[in-house]
Copies of this chain bind each other. A is one copy, B any other.
């Protein structure tokens, strides 16, 4: 299992996902940009804008290598220079309808010239309005995928997502979470093939999960009120990504490709001073469900 094989697989995964999304959207097409990174490697960015279901989103593949950035060396307590290789697929999709959730997925592989390597990734869902049965369906889907590999994965990675996708300054989760994992290395319980098989299964869950929500909710009618709330929830999404998301912050600080990193920004977002939902409204109910530790399965 070489880094080239993993990278080739991720590129194929990008193709599969883009095809599935275009088919489910029925109108939007991905626009492709190929880019090179000065220090080594590059990427294939695919962005969809003004689709029928997806208003704006990106499915990004990259495989980059070179000298490990000094910030990363420091964060790992390394004193000598090492080379790195990193490859992955990252997705954020902002739908047109407030009744279709925002989704994020990432699968990635990282290795260093000192022999260390690991996988990371996750999928999390940000419904503008939390619908409990949808949240349960989503979490059960992820739990089933995890359980096929290791029954400890779902509880561990679900908690990790709750903790990671958290807007501390708002004291609320970004959405209903999902799973998040990083630094997954081989050990006595799993070899590289087994880890990779898990990451592949997560990557391949993305299209069935999101096209399910696209199909199910794209034609539901909504009013101006729901649209307004969607714009405010997108504002919170922007806040999370720019203030807290480690990948975004690290990418921007280390001279990553800004347009690829910020593909996660919504097409439009709103802010209102000191927004308070109406008592007993759907908006209030949703805000009440943006908490860590809810058992959805």
Contact = CB atoms under 8 A, between A and B. Distances in A.
Interface stretch (A135-143, A215-223, A265-273, A286-294): A265-273
A49 interface: yes
Interface in A23-79: 31, 33, 47, 49, 56, 58
A264 to B, nearest CB: 9
Nearest to A33: B274
Interface string A182-218: 0000000000000000000000000000000000000
Contacts of A120: none
Interface string A247-275: 00100100000110111011111111110
A145 B272 CA distance: 34
Nearest to A171: B258
A231 interface: yes
B265 A235 contact: yes
Nearest to A231: B268
B243 A273 contact: no
Contact of A270 (B58, B249, B268): B268
A238 interface: yes
Interface string A227-245: 0000100010011001100
The count of identical subunits is 2
A273 B169 contact: no
Contacts of A225: none
A148 interface: no
A256 to B, nearest CB: 8
Interface in A121-172: 168-170
A259 B235 CA distance: 13
A201 to B, nearest CB: 29
B252 A243 contact: yes
A294 B57 CA distance: 36
Contacts of A169: 252, 258, 261
Given A169-B252, A169-B258, A269 B272 contact: no
Contacts of A258: 169-170
Contact of A269 (B31, B168, B269): B269
Contact of A242 (B33, B242, B261, B268): B242
A235 B265 CA distance: 9
9 contacts: A56-B271, A235-B265, A238-B269, A239-B242, A242-B242, A262-B271, A267-B271, A268-B268, A268-B270
Given A266-B271, A268-B270, 9 more contacts: A47-B273, A47-B274, A49-B272, A238-B238, A243-B249, A259-B273, A259-B274, A262-B271, A263-B273
Nearest 10 interchain pairs by C-beta:
A242-B242, A265-B271, A169-B252, A47-B273, A259-B274, A169-B258, A242-B243, A268-B270, A269-B269, A263-B273
